[in-house]
Structure 1
Amino acid sequence: MSGKLQKVAYKPVGLLLGIGAGAVAGFLFKEIWKLASGGDDAPNATDEDRGWGEIIAAAALQGAIFATVKALVDRGGATGVRKITGTWPD
Structure 2
Amino acid sequence: MVNAAQLAYRPVGILTGIAAGAVAGAIFKQVWKRVARQDDAPDALQSEYTLARVIVAATIQGAIFAAVKATVDRLGAQGFQKLTGEWPGD
When normalised by structure 2's length, the TM-score is 0.92
Which runs of 5 or more residues in structure 2 are unaligned? none
Equivalent residue, structure 2, for 1:13: 12
The secondary structure found in structure 2 opposite 1:87 is coil
Equivalent residue, structure 2, for 1:30: 29
How big is each residue's C-alpha offset from its partner over 1:37-68, in whole Å with a ceiling of 9 and x where there is no partner?
Answer: 11331000011000011101000000000000
Equivalent residue, structure 2, for 1:53: 52
Q: Distance in 2 between matches of 1:27 and 1:33?
A: 10
- Return the offset for 1:86: 1.1
- Return the offset for 1:4: 2.6
Which runs of 5 or more residues in structure 1 are unaligned? none
Residues paired across the two proteins, number: 88
Amino acid at match of 2:27: L
Q: Distance in 2 between matches of 1:74 and 1:59?
A: 22
- Return the offset for 1:6: 1.9
Asked if the contact 2:5/2:87 (under 8 Å) is kept, the reply is no
Q: How large is the Cα RMSD of the aligned pairs?
A: 1.1
**Identity across aligned pairs (percent)?**
52
List structure 1 segments (4+ residues) > 6 angstroms apart after TM superposition.
none
